Amino acid sequence: MPLHPEAQRIIDRTGVQDQGEAPQLDAAAMREGFRLAWTMPDDLQPVGNVVDTVFPGPAGDVPVRVYTPEGEGPFPAFIWFHGGGWTIGSLDENEVSCRAVCVGAGAVVVSVDYRLAPENPFPAAADDAYAAFLWVHENAAALSVDASRLAVGGESAGGNLAAVVALKARDLNGPRLSLQVLVSPVLGHPDDGRPSYRDCSEGYFLSKEGMDWFFTQYPRNASDLDDPYLLPLRSNDLSGLAPALVVEAEYDVLRDEGVEYAEALKAAGNQVELAVFDGMIHGFFGLLALELAEVSGVRARVVEALRSAYVKGAQ
């Protein structure tokens, strides 16, 4: 279908600010521009409690924002990783979506401010993501969390990190995961030849040029691209992983790798649900949540999947 009118308005407004312009800036300048462009809404959805804290990560304290629902726990938990090409982004941009999931799924949401590249290249973000997952499990009682009902999720590079946590949890015999929620995840490389990188290469908010630039920031060298903890589609074994909800936007360079990963997960014997939202663009779940009324549909799908997974986890 054509671009959704709301998505078209975003593209028309951003114009030359399309993320395809990213290679003209360095990471610090991009982060500052991103910070200045972000406006925290005044009418945030209320939750029971929100606390900013830190946990001891592999290379120092890692900031997290913990959203706790109303009521008496223990609650299930959803560990969330923001997007931004492993290079930009923070806890603030997903404030709206984290609160919505906290209320809708009745879950403690732990939003993780992992280390960013290029100052902290691969595997820093992946290591912090898995450490956050372990920290929530180990500190479940203090967080009012039911350690048997844990899920992870993220958008874009955050979706990549959620997929990596699921792989690591299997490989390292980690805690059981109820669900991995992969929203427009980065799973392959821009030069892998998938049609969505050709069809949506520019003009749809996230461009191939922008993704090329992000891939100059996070990997240390070309050999990192063969590591499934950087690109999960490089894995030779996708069996035995947590159930997955893979969410894609029709007009996104990352669309086809998400579809391919969902099919590969299913072929390996995993439980998988794939949802492709017509007319939508990259960032439609969290980053653009304030501007897209249509985001309510994808939020409802995520909440439904989480609630179902948590019920199964409690059995």
Where in the sequence numbering do the catalytic residues fall?
Answer: 156, 252, 282
Tell me the sheet residues that pair with 79.
110, 152
What Cα–Cα distance (Å) separates residue 114 from each residue in 17, 87, 120?
25, 10, 10
Residues in the chain: 315
DSSP 58: B
Tell me the sheet residues that pair with 77.
108, 150
CB 186 within 8 A of CB 197: no
CA torsion angle 2 97 248 283 (round to 10): 60
Per-residue burial over 105-128, b = 16 or more CB atoms within 10 Å of its CB, e = otherwise: bbbbbbbbbbbbbeebbbbbbbbb
- The most distant pair of C-alpha atoms in the chain lies apart, rounded to whole Å, by 52
